[in-house]
Structure 1
Amino acid sequence: MGKLAYTVLHGVFKGGSSYPGKLAQKIDPNVLATLGKDYDVIVVTGTNGKTLTTNLVVKVLKQQYADILTNPSGSNMMRGIITAFIAGRKHQHGKRGLAVLEVDEANVAPVSAALDVKAYVLTNIFRDQMDRYGEFYTTYAKILDGIKLHPDALVLANGDAPIFHSREFKNPVKYFGFNRGGTADMHAAVNTDGVLCPRCEHILHYHEISYSNLGDYFCPHCGFKRPALTYEMTAIKAQTPTSSEFVIDGHDYKLSIGGTYNIYNALAAYAVGTAYDITPAQIGKAFAYDEKVFGRQEVVNVDGKQVTLVLVKNPVGMNQVLEMIGHAKDHFAFGFLLNAKYADGKDTSWIWDTDLEQFVQSKQATSYLVGGERYKDIEFRMEVAGVGKNDLITEPDLTKLPERIKAFPEDSVYLLATYTAMLQLRKSFADGGYIKAGFENK
């Protein structure tokens, strides 16, 4: 039934990333264990960066492993993961298959209970969708509940995140992080989450900070500090909104996607590749693919306007996107589409913790647009940030966005959107013939 639903939805409607799995699980609650019984699994989880990290890990491992099952659409809850197995090609008889799965934080435990997990990749944990997760400490507890089910699985964790060093692992663990030789004694910004020492609850100090609470942290009160790093990013050589050049363990790499946060994703993929005996040269070849992932800096040509689509869902992630597009040399139009469905997180208060004031004051964006189901919320937020009412276009109907975009005087447009708003936006572009339906760019 799941295969039939997938064939119809994917073949006819260019969708079906979760419903086939929902249907199959309703008939057989243990279907994932059956589908995945012959697979070794790598789980990628955390707040930000799961989809791109998963994509990069797959590209890296494909340098030596021919067939890898994954969930490329970002449908990362139980039903989406079941769908990935339903849709995946069968691996060679008699050999175990390899699956690289992006997994929603709250689903790590049930997925781990059903599958044979060989490695966990932990990207970061920030405050996100508090209606689902609560504070980020409770999010981490959900992840640990899954990891504890596989004490022999390798944990590859972001060593720059204090929370990942806050509890002892029974598992073998290796850390990756940024190490640019900083020697300062500084604090994170006052509104940053997760900067209390997990041992003594004093404020953490930093030798260097990459962003938010990530960096080379230490506690002068009790001695808690960042663990030794197995994999190190030692220098960022160049950054643009569409590319990054950096050095990992003495090897030069280039990624055709911008943002400091995406260098962390590449570093995580490097860690996986190295752990699986992929050579540095092969990793560089994998990083060289210029293929954008769904909603992660996809560029769509709308009658001559270069529209960059970026998924956002929490303040830390959005601030990193604003920092990334701040590298643009020319002025651009800026749009924000806000929904508040279950997959987005129903609590939209996070928009008030973003650095929109600083972004607006930079005057790099010369036109503004807001939309989505919660357009009134983001419209007011933009006004408070300093965007004049006469400079702000409001468009609740996302089917009209292509026409709105054509009217912008700027040639470059950055459109930020929450998850379901991104789906609606891409459907509008597909209906207009600008991209293919589903998850592939035209």
Structure 2
Amino acid sequence: MSIKSAVATLTGKSSYWFLHNVLKGGSSFPGKIAEKIDPAVLKHLAAGYEVIIVTGTNGKTLTTSLIVKVLSQQYDNILTNPTGSNMTQGIVTAFLAHRSMRQPKKLAILEVDEANVAPICRYIKPKAFVLTNIFRDQMDRYGEIYTTYQKILDGIKLAPEATVIMNGDAPIFASQDIPNPKIYYGFQTTPGTRDLKARVNTDGVLCPRCNHILHYHELTYANLGDYFCPNCGFHRPKLDQIITKVNDMTPTSSTFTIADQPITINIGGMYNIYNALAAYTVGNFYHLAPDKIRQGFAYDEKVFGRQEVITMGDKKITLILVKNPVGLNQVLDLLKTEKHDFSLGVLLNANYADGIDTSWIWDGDFEGLPKDKIKAYLAGGERSDDIDFRLKVANVPEAKLVHVQGMEPVLGELKKMPTQQIYVLATYTAMLQLRKAMANEKLIKTGF
């Protein structure tokens, strides 16, 4: 280790201790300081770790958490970045914060922002990449989906020996050939004889070889499924790990079958079944027995802002992060599985971490909300005017809709909601602001 790396590591660890023991927060600042002293400090910190990088548009945080839970059945003391601080400084902070134990194999399971895969792979050579999906997201930052995928590929090309574990139902992941070993996961719950098309406003449904519209034998959601091109023959690759049946879905759980193995996870939504399948595939990659993988899924621990349930008096608030049209529509579909009356809050910000363009809310199917079950609505956040107008256009009854400016009045309005169950959909910085307000009222331990 060089003197520069040693100084950077000591300074970063000291700042982390101070921030978390005195100021009670800070998930990226220690890494920023360490990188300022030694831009290559990550190479030193990651030495000796077997690294898995999890990236993609939606599902990174939960997939990372599920992989950690699964691999924890066999390996101790796994390093990860649970707060979702997934850029280089956040990754450096995760290494600075970790207390490594003496063990035969040290694992690091890292959620990584798509644009940061290449910068991180300059210093880390991962054992595997896990690719969840690529959807339109933060256009001001990422551009179109193929631009986003290229950012990931730039990182993968720096580690040609790493295995790429990817969603086989996403056409974009088969759009370019890569030399790496490949493992595909996906759905096959029907015989595969149908001929379907995705909805007309769906992204990524053109064949990457001939630009013909893709067809599907099976569609799960958005552009994911058993795709094929009737014009040039491009089709989904052979799957290695398969969901063969979806048995039941509720807002709080999903039951499905993988290779004749019944699996239950304590979180709802079709998109989260994909996340679980990715984690199952990683467990299989590490030769864990199916029973051990199931034990890893048995934990009922909600991930930061991903269907996190917070009790406020007699009310239960389910906080769900939304950040792009596909993810939003999956959450809106999840609400349709709720059997009881509930209230709904939508908090919209447009800061850099959210994406400054809010036009994506118009691609959300608010018109399809189960309005007979929703007894009250709240529109809030820094862009509350935008989401208030969107809900009104979706024929949300104005008599049931409360419009609040900013974040301060939100908790007070949630307390007035007429139902015990409240769902709050929030963009990233709006979620942080709400959690900070909840922490100030001692509803949760910390806002971050």
Q: TM-score, normalized by length of structure 2?
A: 0.96
Task: Determine which of 245, 248, 254 is the counterpart of 1:244.
Answer: 254
Q: Cα RMSD over matched residues?
A: 1.1
Give the Cα separation in 2 of the matches to 1:86 and 1:53.
22
Contact 1:298 1:310 in 2 (8 A): yes
The reply on whether 1:420 has 2:437 as its aligned counterpart is no
1:396 deviation in Å?
A: 2.3
Partner of 1:394: 403
Contact 1:319 1:355 in 2 (8 A): yes
Q: Summarize the alignment of residues 13-412 of structure 1 with structure 2, pairs less than 5 Å apart.
A: 13-92=23-102, 95-181=104-190, 182-359=192-369, 362-412=371-421
1:129 deviation in Å?
A: 0.4
Contact 2:346 2:424 in 1 (8 A): yes
Letter in 2 for 1:401: V
Give the Cα separation in 2 of the matches to 1:397 and 1:349.
19
Give the Cα separation in 1 of the matches to 2:222 and 2:351.
26
1:183 deviation in Å?
A: 2.1
1:438 deviation in Å?
A: 4.4
Give the Cα separation in 2 of the matches to 1:438 and 1:68.
24
Give the Cα separation in 2 of the matches to 1:397 and 1:134.
28
1:96 deviation in Å?
A: 5.0
Letter in 2 for 1:281: D
Structure 2: tracts of 5 or more residues without a match: 1-10
Letter in 2 for 1:418: T
Give the Cα separation in 1 of the matches to 2:92 and 2:84.
13
Secondary structure at 1:225 match in 2: coil
Contact 2:384 2:406 in 1 (8 A): no
Contact 1:162 1:217 in 2 (8 A): yes
Contact 1:179 1:232 in 2 (8 A): yes
Structure 1: tracts of 5 or more residues without a match: none
Contact 2:437 2:447 in 1 (8 A): no
Secondary structure at 1:369 match in 2: strand
Structure 1 residue ranges (4+ consecutive) displaced by more than 4 angstroms after TM superposition: none
Give the Cα separation in 2 of the matches to 1:256 and 1:96.
29
Q: TM-score, normalized by length of structure 1?
A: 0.97
Give the Cα separation in 1 of the matches to 2:373 and 2:27.
37
Letter in 2 for 1:257: I
Letter in 2 for 1:145: D
Letter in 2 for 1:161: A
Deviations 1:260-295, CA, capped at 9 Å, x for gaps: 000000000000000001110001001010000000
Identical pairs, percent: 60
Cα 1:429/1:438, change in 2 over 3 Å: closer
1:370 deviation in Å?
A: 1.0
Deviations 1:179-224, CA, capped at 9 Å, x for gaps: 1124210100000000001111100000110000000001111111
Give the Cα separation in 2 of the matches to 1:384 and 1:236.
34
Give the Cα separation in 2 of the matches to 1:263 and 1:8.
39
1:364 deviation in Å?
A: 2.6
For these two proteins, the number of residue pairs brought into alignment is 437
1:249 deviation in Å?
A: 1.1
1:90 deviation in Å?
A: 2.2
1:40 deviation in Å?
A: 1.3
